[in-house]
């Protein structure tokens, strides 16, 4: 593989080269990872130029439908739009992948768009750094907006806040009155809230939910001092509110920039990505190490049977890593 050629093709904006480049950074093979590292070094000076926007929310809320509506709106305005879909909850089912393909038909057909569904192989906790690399590659390819779709369950909205400039949380009508516990934590990492499906007979419900979130939003700290988290109603299906949503995203990013926090946020994200990558590389090294492999079955048996504590067994395995082999 000619990595220099691939880098040049990506920078030229060749979408097939971009797709191949993302496949390369997602590969778990050692030689691919070496090539991927070189590729990223080559394109890094071309990165940083996109608006990085996360669309998070529960399954079925309408994220893909919204991205189709928003993406087409942006493409019509002359933007080049890349879409990355991350689905950490079901890496193997491909359910979201099918949904995304059918829901983004018009965007998919646009020459100014690039859509990448979630990686289909089951990667062991490995999505975060690779998603970041995929995002950087999209920027290098000249996309001015990168939209990242992710299911908002558990850890994933934390991951999305580590990846983008602005997190949009998409919620269904109803449920605005119960804002304790996990939902609260989720809201605190959100920059813009949109209540979707504000159409037909649910329009009234959506307006009520919006009011509930609006009063709740006053209670938590925004990512930019003085910037109140906007709460809007949208209909991804008929397009109502999509323009206002994009205005809110731009306003958030502008506020971030004006406060000098955009660079800071991105620098902190890059640092966390470093530690993520170090953890994963160490883990891969550990698993591949012959002495560790030899000791692993007994260690697992002992821990499962309660003969050894997990902490003690981990120390034994780690001590093997520093031995030769």
Ligand X SMILES: Nc1nc2c(ncn2[C@@H]2O[C@H](COP(=O)(O)OP(=O)(O)O)[C@@H](O)[C@H]2O)c(=O)[nH]1
Complete DSSP assignment for 232-276: EE--TTT-TTHHHHHHHHHHHHHHHHHTTHHHHHHHHHHHHHHHH
Contact between residue 130 and residue 123 where contact means Cβ atoms under 8 Å apart: yes
**Residue 114 phi, psi dihedral angles, 5° rounding:** -140, 125
The least distance separating ligand X from the CB of residue 240, rounded to whole angstroms, comes to: 8
- Interface segment toward ligand X; rule CB under 6 A; list 57-65, 140-148, 219-227, 294-302: 57-65
Which x/- pattern over 62-101 shows residues binding ligand X (rule: CB under 6 A)? xxxx---------------------------------x--
Comparison of 125 and 200: residue with beta carbon closer to ligand X: 200
Positive or negative, the CA dihedral 243, 245, 250, 254 is positive
Compute the least distance from the CB of residue 49 to ligand X, in Å.
27
Residue 204 site contact among ligand X, Mg ion, none (CB < 5 to 8 Å, cut-off depends on kind): none
Rounded Cα gap, residues 89 and 105, in angstroms: 24
> Does 236 contact ligand X by CB under 6 A?
yes
280 binds ligand X (CB under 6 A): no
Residue 239 contact, options ligand X, Mg ion, none, Cβ 5-8 Å cut-off depending on partner type: none
b/e sequence 177-216, b meaning 16+ C-beta within 10 Å: eebeeebeebbbbbbbbbbbbbbeebeebbeebbebbbeb
Closest CB to ligand X among residues 38, 101 = 101
Which one of 39, 40, 50, 64 is in contact with Mg ion (CB under 5 A)? 64
**Residue 161 CB partners (closer than 8 Å, separation 6+):** 54, 167, 189
Q: Does 199 participate in binding ligand X (rule CB under 6 A)?
A: yes
Q: Does 209 bind ligand X (CB under 6 A)?
A: no
DSSP notation for 97-127: HHHHHHHTHHHHH-TTEEEEPPP-S--SS-H
Nearest residue to ligand X by CB is 62
Identify which range of 76-84, 110-118, 192-200, 288-296 contacts ligand X by CB under 6 A: 192-200
**Residue 61 engages ligand X in binding (rule: CB under 6 A):** yes
Burial class (CB in 10 A: 0-12, 13-18, 19+), 100: buried
Instruction: Mark residues 9-48: x for contact with Mg ion by CB under 5 A, - for none.
Output: ----------------------------------------
Which residue in 237, 277, 296, 314 binds ligand X (CB under 6 A)? 237
User: How many residues form the binding site for ligand X (CB under 6 A)?
Assistant: 17
> How many whole angstroms separate alpha carbon 56 and alpha carbon 152?
5
Q: Least distance (Å) from ligand X to the CB of residue 5?
A: 36
Helical segments of 162-233, H only = 181-187, 203-217
Site for Mg ion, rule CB under 5 A: 63-64, 96, 99
Provide the binding-site residues for ligand X, judged by CB under 6 A: 57, 59-65, 99, 103, 196-197, 199-200, 235-237
């Amino acid at each position: 593989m000619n990595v220099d050629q691939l880098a040049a093709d990506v920078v030229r904006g060749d979408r097939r080269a971009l797709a191949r480049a993302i496949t390369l950074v997602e590969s778990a093979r050692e030689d691919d990872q070496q090539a991927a590292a070189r590729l990223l070094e080559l394109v890094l000076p071309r990165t940083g130029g996109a608006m990085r926007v996360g669309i998070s929310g529960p399954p079925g809320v309408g994220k893909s439908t919204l991205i189709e509506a928003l993406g087409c709106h942006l493409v019509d305005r002359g933007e080049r739009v890349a879409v990355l879909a991350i689905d950490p909850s079901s890496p193997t089912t491909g359910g979201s992948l099918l949904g995304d393909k059918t829901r983004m038909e018009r965007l998919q057909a646009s020459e100014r768009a690039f859509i990448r569904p979630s990686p289909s192989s089951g990667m062991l906790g490995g999505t975060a750094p690779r998603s970041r690399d995929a995002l950087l590659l999209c920027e290098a390819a000249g996309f001015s907006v990168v939209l990242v779709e992710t299911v908002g369950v558990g850890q994933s909205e934390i991951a999305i806040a580590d990846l983008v400039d602005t997190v949009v949380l998409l919620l269904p009508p109803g449920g605005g009155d119960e804002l304790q516990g996990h939902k609260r934590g989720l809201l605190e990492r959100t920059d813009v809230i949109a209540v979707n499906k504000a159409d037909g007979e649910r329009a009234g419900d959506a307006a009520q939910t919006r009011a509930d979130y609006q009063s709740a939003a006053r209670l938590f700290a925004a990512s930019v001092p003085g910037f109140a988290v906007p709460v809007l109603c949208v209909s991804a299906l008929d397009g109502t509110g999509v323009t206002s949503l994009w205005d809110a995203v731009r306003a958030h990013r502008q506020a971030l920039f004006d406060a000098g926090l955009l660079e800071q946020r991105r620098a902190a994200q890059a640092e966390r990505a470093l530690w993520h990558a170090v953890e994963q590389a160490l883990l891969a090294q550990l698993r591949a190490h012959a002495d560790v492999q030899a000791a692993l079955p007994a260690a697992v048996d002992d821990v499962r049977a309660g003969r050894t504590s997990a902490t003690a067994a981990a120390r034994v395995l780690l001590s093997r890593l520093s031995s030769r082999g």
